[in-house]
Structure 1
């Protein structure tokens, strides 16, 4: 069953319950009002006729003649009077006697002072009446033809209105459901158009901050994550196939040339050495590409924990100097820190260490003295780490594309590389909610400033 049908049925069901309760309340109120008003009339008629009989001394025959004449045109009230011993004193029409008073009824009247009851749709009231110190029982009964006709008309009108209302409610509910669910239908049609080849499509959102807009925005955010993942995968495959082609081609060419004829041991060793260097380049490239892909993951898929920045920088420094003993890295704290929280951030230790290693290696690699300075600062929002060298610097033209994957600028002739390090570093820093800035002057040096916010 479609949601549109469910909403329509639920709307109709609730409306029917409300209408039924409202109609029932009106009918029962009208019925009660008829009874109250008619019993009040009966009581007045009983008292009036008792007064005429006792006080005005109107004869019984005269009262009976009036009753019989009125019965031919209107629903006249039938009145009977009994004394305290239950003997009949007066009756409008004893030969008719619609009431058929019983001793139980008379006892109840004398005990309670008044009794109301219904019998065969006749309304009957019995009251206690005093005259000259004696107690009498007066009963009045009549059939409320006018009142019952009004109730019947009200009942038939209510049924007709009820049926007509259900039909109108169904029509209104149907179009209401169509109108309410129209944005969902549009979202469904738009979502059907989205595939792996056009992940740039998005659902249309409105300024209204309702549930459907929130759903559309959540869906668009999911598409953003999927698009980033697809782009990262496509970029990874494209880049690795492009970058691995060169060292593989060099290894194949080196081995083919060596195998064409007999070589001396020295020539074989040289060929093996060249092939080994190319293989090492492939290993470094593969590791960089794998780190680049990991840095492109959804942050929710990467584990974070509280890490001390000073310890992480020391580990990165030892790792670099282990493979490059001639690199000199000085670490300086610009100000003292009061506790561990001030020097710690929520981070992925491996990735952040990789980013620091890349910045330190670049600083030493492009510096004639193979030396750089790492300085640590603090502010109220996080930790700032400065990586400063006095090397060859970077031109203004290259600064614009410095963080583009696989881009190598004018200084590529000074050192080997694959153009992934800085783009990887930028992604890692942004993955941690931080920022990275660079300042450089040609032939004077370069400074990278990394800001990592407190996130705990």
Structure 2
């Protein structure tokens, strides 16, 4: 079901529930008021009959005088029955009254009591025990009055019909209002949907309108625009990666193919063939190393093995050992900075994967050793109560601000890297390893002075 239909349905049911509840209250209040009003009229009629017949002693003498039986009738279908102290019928307004029901009520009607009895069809009844004082004491005459409240019931039926028609009309208006307001509330969503439908992989530069910039829909559009910006950046990085990868892979493949074709066509001696095989083997190794680097980069973006406690100082020492073996003439020093004051042991523990962390640190040391003409300093310290910091500083040629802005792009190589071994995958790989460990990598550089790479990693509780 569409959201618009859901909103309209819920709005209609809510308003309908309120209307029906209010109408039921009004109807119940009026019905109760009608019953009380008619009960009061019956009680008044009973009191009046008692005063005219009992207290005037007409029933004692058995003579009504100028009164006739129907002179006391004031209500529609009214019936009056009066019983004396000895429970004998002394007066009835008509002969067709069901006296059996009245006799059954005599015993339960207490002196001075006004009783209301359940209605029989449209006829409602009350009973009154009226005191009649005399010289010997007080006698009680029991008066029963019943009648039909045709006017009251007619008005109540008219009210019910009016409430039903009013609710039906209000329901129709509620449906129209719900349809209109749901459409008005969802109009920005429809606009966002239309704008989003026009965005594809070929035009990720489009953005959604953020409206007033304050409500929930504006926040949704802002989140969507942020996601689009990330997607656009990822697509651009992917295109750049594919462009560089195709170029980098094409070079050794072309060299390998050309060498083999030349050897097949022109090499007619063993020394010439061995020389061609040597060139082909170099191109094949280059291609293999580049492919392995690309696979390592893709692997880091996938699922990683479960992390465990790792000693970061051991990872750094292992990376330094590899770097010293590779750059034997380069001085690589290790220093320790600030440590926790109350630490006892295992102050360099971090949650992670030892192999990946060693690879990340080795890439940084490899870059420093590759481009630095002077010593390389690696420092391990705490940057905060729960953050370990590794800082690697070299004395190389440095990087310009423009080069620093592209340094994390896969297969990107700065101008100073031309002619040096490498594929431009070390820093992107290192950055992703650090990010997957919940850390951060930052490079700062000054042209002609050197570059500093800093890694922050969350430390395990000491």
User: TM-score, normalization: structure 2?
Assistant: 0.81
Retained in 2: the 8 A contact 1:313–1:356? Answer: yes
Greater mean alpha carbon deviation, residues 200-209 or residues 230-239: 200-209
The question of 1:318 aligning with 2:324 is answered no
Q: Please give the secondary structure, in 1, of the residue aligned with 2:393.
A: strand
Preserved contact between residue 83 and residue 141 of structure 2 (Cα < 8 Å):
yes
Aligned-pair distance for 1:374?
1.0
CA displacement at 1:125 relative to structure 2: 0.9
Residue 372 (structure 1) aligned with residue 373 (structure 2): no
The answer as to 2:296 corresponding to 1:291 is: yes
CA distance in 1, matches of 2:231, 2:430: 22
Q: Does 1:169 find its partner at 2:170?
A: no
User: Are residues 1:68 and 2:74 paired?
Assistant: no
1:197 and 2:175 equivalent? no
In structure 2, what is the equivalent of residue 436 of structure 1? 442
Q: Please give the alpha-carbon distance, in whole angstroms, between the structure 2 residues aligned to 1:348 and 1:204.
A: 44
Q: Which residue matches 1:128? A: 129
Contact 1:75 1:145 in 2 (8 A): yes
Matching residue of 1:329: 332
Cα pair distance change 1:272/1:328, threshold 3 Å: farther
- Greater shift in the superposed pair: 221-230 or 137-146: 221-230
- The answer as to whether partners of 2:46 and 2:143 remain within 8 angstroms in 1 is yes
1:12 to partner: Cα distance:
2.7
Q: Distance in 1 between matches of 2:38 and 2:379?
A: 101
Query: Contact between 2:431 and 2:440, CA under 8 Å: does it hold in 1?
Result: no
Alpha-carbon shift at residue 138 of structure 1 (Å)? 1.1
Q: CA 1:233/1:152 → structure 2, altered by over 3 Å: closer, same or farther?
A: same
Instruction: Please report how far the alpha carbon of residue 317 of structure 1 lies from its aligned counterpart in structure 2 after TM superposition.
Output: 2.6
Q: For residue 202 of structure 2, give the secondary structure of its aligned residue in structure 1.
A: coil
After superposition, the Cα gap between the structure-2 partners of 1:333 and 1:16, relative to the gap in structure 1 and judged at 3 Å, is same
Change in CA separation of 1:61 and 1:161 when aligned onto 2, cut-off 3 Å: farther
1: CA distance, partners of 2:21 / 2:339: 76
Show CA shifts across 1:380-416 (max 9, x none).
Answer: 1622222123345556775565555444444335632
Superposed CA RMSD in Å reads: 3.6
Deviations 1:66-103 (A, max 9, x none): x53865xx648543321133322233x33464877532
Q: 1:35 aligns to what?
A: 35
Aligned length in residues: 446
Q: Is the 8 A contact 2:127 2:144 kept in 1?
A: yes
Query: Residues 398, 154 of structure 1: CA spacing in aligned structure 2 closer, same or farther, 3 A cutoff?
Result: closer
**After the TM superposition, which residues 17-96 of structure 1 pair with which residues of structure 2 at under 5 Å, given as runs?**
17-57=17-57, 60-64=64-68, 67-68=70-71, 75=76, 78-91=79-92, 93-95=93-95
Contact in 2 for aligned 1:43/1:125 (Cα 8 Å): yes
Contact preservation (8 Å) 1:60, 1:90? no
Contact 1:45 1:77 in 2 (8 A): no
Deviation string, structure 1 residues 153-204 (Cα, Å, up to 9, x no partner) = 2122112212211111111122122223333323332333233323444544
1:366-390 CA-to-partner distances (Å, cap 9, x unmatched) read 2346x52211121216222221233
Separation in 1 of the partners of 2:51 and 2:157?
35
Give the distance between the partners of 1:151 and 1:202, measured in 2 at CA: 62
Q: How does 1:394-405 map to 2 (within 5 A)?
A: 394=399, 402-405=407-410
How far apart are the structure 2 equivalents of 1:336 and 1:113?
96
Alignment-derived partner of residue 151 in structure 1: 156
Q: 2:83 & 2:175 partners in 1: Cα distance?
A: 60
Q: What stretches of structure 1 of length at least 5 have no aligned partner?
A: none
Task: Return closer, same or farther for 1:399/1:52 CA change in 2, 3 Å cut-off.
Answer: closer
**Distance between the aligned counterparts of 1:423 and 1:430, measured in 2?**
11
**Offset of 1:104 from its aligned partner?**
0.7
Structure 2: 5+ residue runs without aligned partners? Answer: none
Task: Pick closer, same or farther for the CA change 1:329–1:388 going to 2, 3 Å.
Answer: same
Counterpart-to-counterpart distance in 2, 1:140 and 1:70 = 10
CA contact (8 A) 2:441 2:453 kept: no
Task: Tell me whether 1:8 sits opposite 2:8 in the alignment.
Answer: yes
Shift of 1:33: 1.2
> Could you state the TM-score of these two structures normalised by the residue count of structure 1?
0.82
Q: Do 1:99 and 1:141's aligned partners in 2 also have CA atoms closer than 8 Å?
A: no
User: In the alignment, does 2:234 pair up with 1:235?
Assistant: no
Indicate conservation of the 8 Å contact 1:30/1:151, yes or no: yes
Tell me the alpha carbon deviations over residues 102-123 of structure 1, each in whole angstroms, 9 at most, x when there is no partner: 3212233248944323234222
Of residues 126-135 and 281-290 in structure 1, the stretch that sits farther from structure 2 once superposed is 281-290
Determine whether 1:279 maps to 2:280. no
Could you list the per-position Cα deviations for residues 278-316 of structure 1 after superposition, in whole angstroms to 9, with x for gaps in the alignment? Answer: 222222322333334445x38xx5456343321221232
Residue of structure 1 equivalent to 2:104: 104
Distance 1:439 1:232 in 2: 23
